[in-house]
Amino acid sequence: MRYKITFSYDGTNFYGYQKQKNYRTVEGCFEKALFDINDHLDTKICSSGRTDRGVHAKGQVAHFDLKVDITPYKLKCALNSLLPPDIHVNEAEAVNDDFHARYMVKNKKYVYYLNVGEYDPLQRNYVYQYNHSLDYDEMAKAIKDYIGVHDFISFVSNDCVKDSYEREIYEAYLDKSDDIIKFTFVGNGFMKYQVRNMVGTLIKIGKGKLDVDAIKKIFADPTNEKMVMTAKSEGLYLEEVTY
């Protein structure tokens, strides 16, 4: 039987999502729990995508196949009893055998939180403590240039090798509440460091280090990748995955 789960996690104390030998990862914790649930069989879990070290998730999605017969409710309870407290399964459901958590994604929503006010030690793992003023209006104009179909090769990690770096961004906008700026991106897919680089470039625009048309220039000429800056991981959240 194939199951789909929606879950959240605090990425602070994980070495990223992907399972890695000798490191604590989200995927590794799930596969350890599933081994106990699935009659001590090695059970692979397939997620909608991987998140970097320090990145959080509110609505990550994954699927896996189990030999044992268990109701979705009991599966959710069993997983939450075996998983560490910085992971929580919000929903479990039985799905058709052809459901695929990665290949059937319609869009993803990422949000990023940045503090331009006084340093807050209680939020240091959950909001990027930038703690300097930024030109919000310039960033709000520039972020719209991400909308549409673009080649994002300049905005991904150097070790991210893809057949195509073309992705479509459906929504990109800012909100501000007191000293917290919230960046929101909705698109059909995101690659390694893409969102963090998109935010980092906007920060440079907000600092006045780049002009408001910098994003257009980077898309027009990938050799302008030196303009791109990577924002820190702790402000980033995978908010929602839509199928």
Domain identity same for 126 and 188: yes
- The answer as to whether 101 is a domain residue is no
CB 219 within 8 A of CB 227: no
Residues 6 or more apart whose CB falls under 8 angstroms from that of 128 comprise 112, 113, 114, 115, 231, 232, 234, 235
- The answer as to whether 102 is a domain residue is no
pLDDT of residue 161 exceeding 80, the answer is: no
Domain identity same for 115 and 78: no
Q: Which of 39, 69, 95 is the last residue of a domain?
A: 95
Domain identity same for 87 and 122: no
pLDDT of residue 210: 96
As a whole number, the mean pLDDT across the chain is 96
- The answer as to whether 172 is a domain residue is yes
- The answer as to whether 206 is a domain residue is yes
- The answer as to whether 75 is a domain residue is yes
Catalytic positions: 52
Burial class for 73, CB neighbours closer than 10 Å (0-12, 13-18, 19+): exposed
Number of domain units in the chain: 2
Domain identity same for 39 and 120: no
Q: Which of 95, 119, 135 is the last residue of a domain?
A: 95
Domain identity same for 158 and 238: yes
Q: Which of 34, 66, 95 is the last residue of a domain?
A: 95
Average pLDDT over residues 215-232: 92
- pLDDT tens digits, residue range 202-216? 999 999 999 999 999
Domain identity same for 113 and 229: yes
Domain identity same for 148 and 218: yes
- pLDDT tens digits, residue range 13-65? 999 999 998 999 999 999 999 999 999 999 999 999 999 999 999 999 999 99
CATH number, domain of 65, equals 3.30.70.580
Domain identity same for 137 and 43: no
pLDDT of residue 157: 79
Task: Name all contacts of 214-217 with Cβ < 8 Å and 24+ positions apart.
Answer: 214/142, 215/142, 215/145, 215/146, 216/145
Cα separations in angstroms, 213 against 159, 165, 220:
27, 21, 11
- The answer as to whether 123 is a domain residue is yes
CA 226, 227, 228, 234 dihedral sign is positive
Domain identity same for 175 and 227: yes
Pairing outcome for strands 148-151 and 166-177: antiparallel
CATH number, domain of 130, equals 3.30.70.660
Nearest to 9 by CA among 35, 36, 37, 28: 28
Domain identity same for 112 and 225: yes
pLDDT of residue 162 exceeding 90, the answer is: no
| Rounded Cα distance, 38 and 35, in Å | 5
Domain range for 193: 107-242
pLDDT of residue 160: 73
Burial class for 81, CB neighbours closer than 10 Å (0-12, 13-18, 19+): exposed
Domain identity same for 66 and 155: no
- The answer as to whether 201 is a domain residue is yes
Domain identity same for 235 and 199: yes
Query: Over pLDDT 70: what percentage of the chain?
Result: 100
- The answer as to whether 15 is a domain residue is yes
